[in-house]
Amino acid sequence: MGKKTHLKFEQTLAIVKPDGVQRSLVGEIIKRFEQVGLKLVAVKMLVPTTDHVEQHYTLDPNWRRVTGEKTIKGYKAKGMTPPSEDPLEITAKILANLKKYMTSGPVVAMVWQGAHAVGIVRKLVGGTEPLTSDVGTIRGDYVLDSYQMSDTDNRAVRNLIHASGSVEEANMEIKHWFSGKEVTAYKLFQEQVTYDVNLDGILE
Ligand code: GDP
Ligand code: MG
C-alpha cells in the first residue's frame, strides 16, 4: 500500500458560510473538528464570487437532478405540494438562492485531514435542515432555520456550514477552493497517539 493511501490521509472540505462568520462561530466550529482529532491543513477567508459558488454546487453533474428529486420527496413526505414536479426547476431556484447566500459576506474555507475525515465531519455538522439536525451537531446546536421558513421567504436555508458529502466530492471541492500550494502537508505530534500502531514512545 502506498504511503498516502492510508485512511489517515483522507481530506474533506468544510466552509463556514456567511451566517456562521457573522455569528462568530468560526472558533467553535474549528474547535469541534480539532477536538475529534482531525488536522487543519488549509484555511482561508474570502468572499466567493457567484460563478465560484455555482461551480462548487455543480461540480457533481448529478447535483441538480439529485437535489431536486430529494427536495420534491421532502415536500411530499411532509404532506406538502412541491412548487414544481420538475427537479431541475426546483434546483434552479435553490441554486439562485445559494448564490445570493454564499456571496453575501466572507466565508471561511478549510481542509481537514484524518481518518474518515469526510464521514466524521458530516457527523459533527449534522443533517442539512437545521430543524431536524440532531442535537449535539453543529447545525443542531447553533441554528434553527427550516426549509419551510426559507422557502416562504424565498432564500437559502441558513445552515452555517458546508461539508463534502463523499470522498470523491471532497477531492473535487478541495481543488475548487484551494491550490495545491495552499494545502500544507505536515506532522501533528498528537497524531502519534491516534495512529501509531505501537504506543511505544510514551514511557521514558
Ligand atoms: P448538504 O451537503 O448537507 O449541505 O446538503 P446538499 O448537498 O443536499 O444541499 C446543498 C444545499 O442545497 C443545502 O445546504 C441547502 O441550502 C440546499 N438544499 C438541499 N436540499 C434542500 C431542500 O430540500 N430544500 C431547500 N429549500 N433547499 C435545499
Ligand atoms: Mg452537499
Give the pLDDT confidence of 17-55 residue by residue, as tens digits: 999 999 999 999 999 999 999 999 999 999 999 999 999
Catalytic machinery residues: 162
The mean per-residue pLDDT over the stretch 68-87 comes to 93
- Per-residue cell: 177: 477552493
Q: How much distance in Å is there from the Cα of 15 to the middle of ligand 1?
A: 14
Average of pLDDT values for 120-132?
97
Output the pTM of the full model: 0.95
List the domains of the chain with CATH numbers.
Answer: 3-179 (3.30.70.141)
**Residue in 94, 103, 118, 143 to alter for ligand 1 test, most ligand atoms within 8 A of Cβ:** 94
Amino acid letter for position 123:
K
pLDDT score recorded for residue 4:
86
